[in-house]
Structure 1
């Protein structure tokens, strides 16, 4: 399948660069190689506030590992693909229907993006135990594993609205940053993650 570029000129790349590392003391750091474009609400002129975060995360993943818009699907193309794959019933196209990690994984394969391997974590409290496994398969996200139980994940929040000028602006506003696993995730909620490989 082909995808039309879904970004504006001036899209920000590699927005984690320059971000101070969290934690204290020695830690093990896993970083992605390659480049990505940061996609967020409205970055292409479409007002998708309240429903587009899954699409924007998918677009960021599709831009990796080369940091180019080639192969990054527009929102309408994602909706059409999910209907065509019979993952969603007719009516998703042109709607404000959201998508999640499972749909993103299907679309990564459909649009020829990096290969995603879904991982279901039934309770946030179990996420800490998944970090070692995620660390060994890490590619599309970053994680910092510190001494003891201190563990962090890099979050690129797609909920940003507006026209950020540079990565420092995103970092200062908290749209891009390290989050401690023990406090950033609800211990009673479930999470679906995607582990990527190029």
Structure 2
């Protein structure tokens, strides 16, 4: 969808060698961006769509970014979900995102499990290595903190480490990158601000940007 904003994380800020970012272009999918009202449950689908747009721009394996309905159809066809899943408002997480990416693009994904937010510090090297080697967006979901989100970068600085979050929960007409960043829909989120009591699952597509 060409009307969606490209690369919403980009800014005039200059980053040091401790920053590791997504490579290549992607479009920002969020609640109701295609006219379909998915408020309250569609965040995983929207982050998946953002990742699919990155695949189309950067891997040479372009296919139409799937609608929420199409994503549900794929999961039912793979027998991951029952037929009753079609047309439902059931959310999806990192595992389902992994299945759909593999089906559409023949790209495997690595699932990284963090048993509680306090342990996100332990996977910083994994995230750094991912952005250095592949540069693809990461999907992140949790249980207590059940809202899915995209990770477009990592800043490694000891206890001050941060993740670059692209939040699909935005509702409204397309605005500028500056607006979305100012309002916090795109932000560097310190690890200490993630819920310590929630586990997190991350989906890391194992494909390199051709750029």
What TM-score, normalized to structure 2? 0.81
Q: For residue 155 of structure 2, what is the aligned residue in structure 1?
A: 144
Alignment of 1:17-166 (within 5 A): 17-18=10-11, 20=13, 28-67=18-57, 70-112=63-105, 115-138=108-131, 139=135, 140=137, 141-146=152-157, 148-166=158-176
User: Deviation per CA, 1:17-37, whole angstroms, max 9, x where unpaired?
Assistant: 116468xxx651112211100
User: Deviation per CA, 1:3-45, whole angstroms, max 9, x where unpaired?
Assistant: xxxx4x41111001116468xxx65111221110000000000
Report deviation, 1:71.
Answer: 3.3
User: Deviation per CA, 1:46-82, whole angstroms, max 9, x where unpaired?
Assistant: 0000110000000001111554884311111100000
CA contact (8 A) 1:34 1:65 kept: no
Q: 2: distance between equivalents of 1:114 and 1:18?
A: 30
RMSD: 2.0
Return the match for 1:181 from 181, 191, 210. 191
Q: 2: distance between equivalents of 1:106 and 1:70?
A: 16
Relative distance call for 1:103 and 1:19 in structure 2 (3 A) is farther
Question: Secondary structure at 1:97's aligned position in 2?
Answer: coil
Q: For residue 3 of structure 1, what is the aligned residue in structure 2?
A: none
Q: Which is further off, 119-128 or 65-74?
A: 65-74
Does structure 1 residue 13 correspond to structure 2 residue 22?
Answer: no
Q: 2: distance between equivalents of 1:31 and 1:115?
A: 20
More helix by share: 2
Q: 2: distance between equivalents of 1:116 and 1:166?
A: 31
Q: 1: distance between equivalents of 2:57 and 2:49?
A: 11
Gaps of 5+ in 2: 138-151
Does structure 1 residue 169 correspond to structure 2 residue 169?
Answer: no
Q: 2: distance between equivalents of 1:172 and 1:191?
A: 26
Q: 2: distance between equivalents of 1:136 and 1:130?
A: 10
What TM-score, normalized to structure 1? 0.86
Report deviation, 1:197.
Answer: 3.0
CA contact (8 A) 2:98 2:205 kept: no
Report deviation, 1:134.
Answer: 1.8
Runs of 4+ in 1 over 6 A off after TM superposition: none
CA contact (8 A) 2:117 2:197 kept: yes
Gaps of 5+ in 1: 1-6
Q: 2: distance between equivalents of 1:92 and 1:19?
A: 43
